Amino acid sequence: MRKILLSIVAMLCCTAVYAQEKITVYAASSMTNAVNELIAAYQPKQPLDIVPVYAGSSALARQIEQGAPADIFISANDDWVTHLLNKNIVTSDKVTLLAGNQLVLIAPQSSKLNSLMVNDVAAWLDALHGSRLAIGNTTAVPVGMYAKKALEKLKVWSSLAPMLAQTNNVRLALALVERQEAALGIVYKTDALMSNKVKVVHEFDSSLHSAIHYPLVQLTDRDTVNQFMLFLRSDRAKNILQNYGFSVMTGTDSFAF
């Protein structure tokens, strides 16, 4: 009887240990819906709690730098990953490319605007009509940094800069346009596609800014993390990302700096 009781206790202890296994995924706001589905689709070999944390890439990178217990980081641009590399928080062999995205201009679904000549300042001013252009923070939030580069190349930045409504992440910029608190917004294509309250009025040419990459960074070396990283690079994961409008990488796609 005692042996049976000890066996039961041992089994319960093992179950408790497994139940405590947790992976914390820090992901850019624009990855919210896709990562939620990736987590739901993953079938681990043992009980596992995968906890996503969503925010702007800059905020997440700074938290990681300060010691936040993240296991995986999905950034919306290369710069913040380079920052962590320079701080010796991560090594380049733990970074791969996960996905790509596109920059678009959006307006509320009810807007009469259906297209815009983005190199024409007068067209911008007419479309804004005293309202604001919702955009991520242009010094820290990747979508805002990409947008600023595009607007500078189009030679309309100086005219539009005073009319910006800058936000801490892309989802907040999207929300401003959804609520019609901003007449226009610059967001990722994937964010625009998930909302029925906005419409795309222009797709920016990718030559106007640096490539929109989503680096996938492994911060800890545990078997559960290793297995989830393998899943994130699998064909099934790529199909999920594509369903949300992301472009996906093929081959090994090691990250180049």
- Element (H or E) spanning 160, and its range? helix 157-160
| Cβ–Cβ under 8 Å, residues 61 and 75 | yes
For residue 180, count CB atoms less than 10 angstroms from its CB and return exposed for 0-12, middle for 13-18, buried for 19 or more.
middle
Listing DSSP states for 173-209 in one string gives HHHHHHTTSSSEEEEEHHHHHT-SSEEEEEE--GGGS
Establish whether 188 is an annotated binding residue. Answer: yes
Please name every residue paired with 51 in a beta bridge, in sequence order, or none if there are none.
Answer: 24
Q: Tell me whether strands 247-248 and 164-167 are parallel, antiparallel or unpaired.
A: unpaired
Chain center to CA of 226: 21
Establish whether 30 is an annotated binding residue. Answer: yes
User: Alpha-carbon dihedral of residues 115, 106, 143, 203, nearest 10 degrees?
Assistant: -30
User: Alpha-carbon dihedral of residues 11, 16, 18, 20, nearest 10 degrees?
Assistant: -170
- Element (H or E) spanning 18, and its range? helix 2-19
The annotated binding site is made up of 30, 57, 170, 188
Binding site residues for molybdate, as ranges?
30, 57, 170, 188
